[in-house]
């Protein structure tokens, strides 16, 4: 399925969007999964087929189904939600290939630290009214000053899995 996404402005549909993180803890024996309940975003598809935009996550909306752990994740030890309430992925460019993969170049900002973050997404559905992008990538939390690691319990990279649904903005 080679898709052509309509040019113009697009808005993220938070009701049909999910952003999940997974990280191994307890010395790699347990995988903790968290969901960001509050996600916002927008983008623009240019006439040459490239795109740019922003996806923003509300750090306080992260839910791992464990209140004590969630409170710690929001603390200054890790996400520092009080000083840095959002995580932002600013897409500089996104280009759809013939196989419906999307090469995304952008900047990820966590805890006020911005780093380049390449992502390969896949268009799983597209119409004149909406488009769905699915991506899975890893982030090294140490690069974002999130090095807290009591007794070496946290190891490896954090995996981010997202399904982003954008709807066309009526102009």
pLDDT in tens, 95-109: 888 888 999 999 999
Global pTM reads 0.87
For the chain, which domains are there?
8-168 (2.40.128.110)
Higher-pLDDT residue of 51, 98: 51
Provide the 3-class DSSP secondary structure of residue 70: helix
Q: Is 113's pLDDT higher than 50?
A: yes
Name the band, by pLDDT with cuts 50, 70 and 90, for residue 6. confident
Long-range pairs for 102-107: beta carbons < 8 A, 24 or more residues apart: 102/133, 104/135
Q: Is the pLDDT of residue 3 over 90?
A: no
- CB atoms under 10 Å from CB of 29, counted, come to 9
């Amino acid at each position: 399925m080679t898709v052509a996404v309509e040019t113009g402005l697009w808005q993220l549909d938070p009701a049909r969007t999910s952003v999940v993180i997974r990280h191994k803890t307890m010395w790699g024996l347990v995988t903790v999964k968290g969901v960001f309940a509050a996600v916002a975003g927008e983008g623009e598809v240019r006439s040459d087929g490239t795109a740019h935009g922003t996806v923003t996550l509300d750090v306080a909306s992260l839910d791992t189904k464990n209140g004590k752990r969630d409170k710690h994740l929001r603390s200054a030890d890790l996400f520092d939600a009080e000083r840095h309430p959002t995580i932002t992925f600013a897409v500089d460019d996104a280009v759809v290939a013939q196989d419906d993969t999307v090469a995304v170049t952008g900047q990820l900002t966590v805890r006020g630290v911005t780093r380049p973050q390449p992502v390969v997404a896949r268009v799983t559905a597209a119409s004149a009214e909406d488009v769905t992008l699915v991506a899975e990538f890893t982030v090294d939390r140490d690069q974002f000053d999130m090095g807290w690691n009591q007794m070496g319990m946290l190891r490896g990279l954090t995996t981010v899995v997202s399904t982003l649904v954008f709807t066309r903005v009526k102009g």
